C-alpha cells in the first residue's frame, strides 16, 4: 500500500443513465498519485485504493477522468448511508493507493 492522502470534496451524481456518485480528487493530488503509480497499467487507468469517509472504510478503485483532469472516487450508496451523507455535501475523505 502507498501513502494515505487526505482531501475534501463535494459528492456529485453522474449525469448518465446509471446513478453513480463520485468525489473528484484535487488535480494536484491526482498528479502525485499518477506519478507514484508509474507504469501501472489497469483497465480504464484505474488504481486500487482503500478509501475512508469518517469511520466508514471501503475498498474500491479510482478512475482517471480526462474531462476533469483528475481521478474519480466512486462513493456507493451503502457508504453514503453509513456516513450519513448525500449528493451535494462536502466531505473529508482519504485514499490509500495500492500500487502493487
Cell 472504510, located at residue: 57
Give the distance, in angstroms, between the CA of residue 58 and the centroid of all CA atoms in the same chain: 11
pLDDT truncated to tens, each residue of the chain (100 aa)? 778 999 999 999 988 776 789 999 999 999 998 888 877 666 667 899 999 999 999 999 999 888 888 999 999 999 999 999 999 999 999 999 987 7
CATH 1.10.530.10 holds for 5-97? no
Number of C-beta neighbours around residue 70 at 10 A: 23
Closest to 61 measured CA to CA, from 30, 92, 95, 20? 95
Looking at residue 36, what is its pLDDT? 84
Q: How far apart are CA 34 and CA 54, in angstroms?
A: 25
List the beta bridge partners of residue 94: 6, 52
Amino acid at each position: 500500500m502507498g501513502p494515505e492522502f487526505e482531501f475534501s470534496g463535494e459528492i456529485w451524481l453522474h449525469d448518465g443513465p446509471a446513478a453513480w456518485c463520485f468525489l473528484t480528487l484535487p488535480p494536484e493530488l491526482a498528479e502525485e498519485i499518477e506519478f507514484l503509480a508509474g507504469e501501472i497499467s489497469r483497465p480504464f487507468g484505474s488504481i486500487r485504493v482503500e478509501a475512508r469517509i469518517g469511520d466508514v472504510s471501503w475498498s474500491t478503485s479510482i478512475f482517471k477522468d480526462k474531462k476533469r483532469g483528475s481521478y474519480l472516487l466512486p462513493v456507493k450508496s451503502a457508504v453514503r448511508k453509513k456516513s450519513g451523507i448525500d449528493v451535494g455535501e462536502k466531505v473529508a475523505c482519504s485514499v490509500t493507493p495500492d500500487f502493487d
